[in-house]
Amino acid sequence: MALFGKKEVEQNEFSVLPNHIGIIMDGNGRWAKKRGLPRSAGHKAGANVFRKISKECERLGIKYVTFYAFSTENWKRSKEEVDALMNLFMEYLLEAKSDVTQAGNSRIKFIGEREGLSQELLNLMDEAEEETGSHTGTTVYLAVNYGGRQEIVSAVNKLLKDGKTEITEKDISENIYTTPECDLIIRPSGEQRLSNFLLWQAAYSEFWYSDVLWPDFKAENLHSALREFEKRNRRFGG
Ligand code: FPP
């Protein structure tokens, strides 16, 4: 498959692949500003990179990848920017619905609070989850209206509702939104913070940072992160 032309990397070029990658798609605003464009243009370019990178994860055989698309704090942004982001999510889901190749063999799952999202978006999210539910490739978690603290609180509340009076780590691991460990967190754009992303899952994550802005992020950047991950000596506190 010639998705990325000459620079294509064969799966077996990596001796070890992370089971779960988390990606903070940062730098869209700065990318747009540098070009004298509105922030929404940066998000649009970022959405196209999301499409390419999720497909590349699938091609490489990554089991789980979580993309941070909209945080519980992002509501503080202008209505114009929030609307532009919501429209991009809907655009992608409509595409995925009319053209199954858009999602490939990936399973799309949304993580985060449903409250606050429009019914139109919720319906498309449900349809995408349902339509891709039987796919056997990468599980692509899209974090929309997501916060790591909110995720843990919601898991605890669910356990309390189920009648639990004492809560173990295993209980929380089984009730958060994603698979419980995240092996590698990728954050472009030069920032070196977690920003309330996958707090529980990041307990033993390896971090990879880069100055590249998300709309400029290429498959090669993902490969660099994976190459770096291969070299890390993970001890899990031992
Ligand atoms: C952070 O960069 C990015 C976001 C708040 C939005 C990320 C969302 C997308 C890339 C769209 C995803 C689309 C689909 C279909 C999943 P920033 O805007 O804060 O950048 P800045 O720090 O340079 O201002």
**Ligand 1 close to Cβ of residue 88 (< 6 A):** yes
Terminal Cα distance for the chain, rounded: 41
- Residue 64 has what pLDDT? 98
- Residue 104 has what pLDDT? 81
Which residues, 6+ apart, have CB-to-CB distance to 28 below 8 Å? 39, 42, 43, 45, 46, 213, 214, 215
- Residue 8 has what pLDDT? 53
Which residue in the block uniquely carries the two structure tokens 């290429």? 218
pLDDT one digit per residue (tens) for the chain, 238 residues: 444 444 455 556 899 999 999 999 999 999 999 999 999 999 999 999 999 999 999 999 999 999 999 999 999 999 999 999 999 999 999 988 776 566 789 999 999 999 999 999 999 999 999 999 999 999 999 999 999 999 999 999 999 999 999 999 999 999 999 999 999 999 999 999 999 999 999 999 999 999 999 999 999 999 999 999 999 987 888 7
**Ligand 1 close to Cβ of residue 217 (< 6 A):** no
**Ligand 1 close to Cβ of residue 46 (< 6 A):** yes
pTM reported for the whole predicted model:
0.94
DSSP H helix total and E strand total for the chain: 7, 6
- Minimum CA distance residue for ligand 1 atom 12: 47
CA angle 136, 179, 129 (to 5 degrees): 50
Of the residues 19, 74, 105, 211, only one is catalytic, namely 74
- Residue 97 has what pLDDT? 77
**Ligand 1 close to Cβ of residue 28 (< 6 A):** yes
Our answer to whether residue 26 is catalytic in this structure is yes
Tell me how far apart the alpha carbons of residues 93 and 108 are, in angstroms, rounded to a whole number.
10
Which residue in the block uniquely carries the two structure tokens 């319906």? 123
145 SS3 class: strand
Q: Distances from the Cα of 113 to the Cαs of 73, 84, 110, 183, 230, in angstroms?
A: 12, 19, 9, 24, 34
Tell me how far apart the alpha carbons of residues 24 and 187 are, in angstroms, rounded to a whole number.
5
- Residue 142 has what pLDDT? 97
Our answer to whether residue 221 is catalytic in this structure is no
